[in-house]
Chains A and B, each alone.
Chain A
Amino acid sequence: MTAGTPEITLEGVSRWYGEVLGLNEVSAEFGPGVTGLLGPNGAGKSTMLKIICGMLKPDLGKVRVCGRVPFNRARVMRRIGLCPEQDAYYPKASAWAVVTYLTRLHGFTKLEARTRARHALERAGLGDVLGSSVAGFSKGMRQRFKLAQALAHEPDVFILDEPLNGLDPHGRKQYSDVIQELADDGACVLVSSHILHEVDALARRIVVLNAGRILADGSAREIREDLSKFPLQVRIDTAEGGRLASTLVTLDGVSKVELTDHGAIVITRDAGLLLDRMGTIAAESNIPVEAVVPLDEDLESVFRYLTQ
Chain B
Amino acid sequence: MNSEEPPPPVRHLDVALPPLAGFGPAFGWGLKLTCRWPRMLGIGGVGVVLCWWLGAAFVGAKRRGRPNDEWLDLWTLLDEGMLGYIVPLIALLTIASGFRVELGRKTFVFHLVRPISRTTLFLARFFAGVLPSWILCTLVLVVTCSASGLDLPSEVWLSLPVTALIGSLAVGAFYYVVTTLFRGGMIVALVYTFVFEGLFASSRGAMQKLSIMFHVRGVHHGMTDDVFAAESKHVVAALNPAFDLSELADGNLLSVMTKLRERVAYDEPQMALLICGGITIGLLAYGAYRIGRRDFPLKD
Contacts and interface: CB of A to CB of B under 8 A. Distances in A.
Interface of A: 1-4, 17, 50, 53-57, 66, 72, 74-75, 77-82, 84-92, 101-102, 104-107, 112, 115-116, 118-119, 122-123, 125, 127, 149, 153-154, 156, 159, 174
B7 A74 contact: no
Given A119-B2, A123-B2, A153-B10, A72 B107 contact: no
Nearest to B291: A72
Interface of B: 1-3, 5-7, 9-17, 21-22, 24-26, 28-29, 33, 36, 105-118, 120, 292-293, 295-300
16 contacts: A1-B14, A1-B15, A50-B297, A55-B112, A55-B298, A78-B115, A82-B110, A82-B112, A87-B106, A102-B110, A105-B114, A119-B2, A119-B7, A127-B1, A149-B110, A153-B10
Contact of A55 (B6, B11, B296): B296
Contacts of A123: 1-2
Contacts of B14: 1-4, 66, 75
B105 A88 contact: yes
Say what secondary structure dominates the interface of chain B. loop
A119 B105 contact: no
Q: Which 5 A-B pairs have the closest CB atoms?
A: A104-B25, A88-B106, A105-B114, A154-B10, A3-B12
A106 B21 CA distance: 9
Given A3-B12, A90-B33, 11 more contacts: A53-B113, A84-B110, A88-B106, A89-B105, A90-B107, A104-B22, A105-B25, A105-B26, A106-B114, A119-B2, A159-B113
A77 B112 CA distance: 8
Contact of B3 (A75, A82, A119): A119
Given A56-B296, A74-B117, A82-B113, A122 B3 contact: yes
Contacts of A116: 7
A224 B299 CA distance: 32
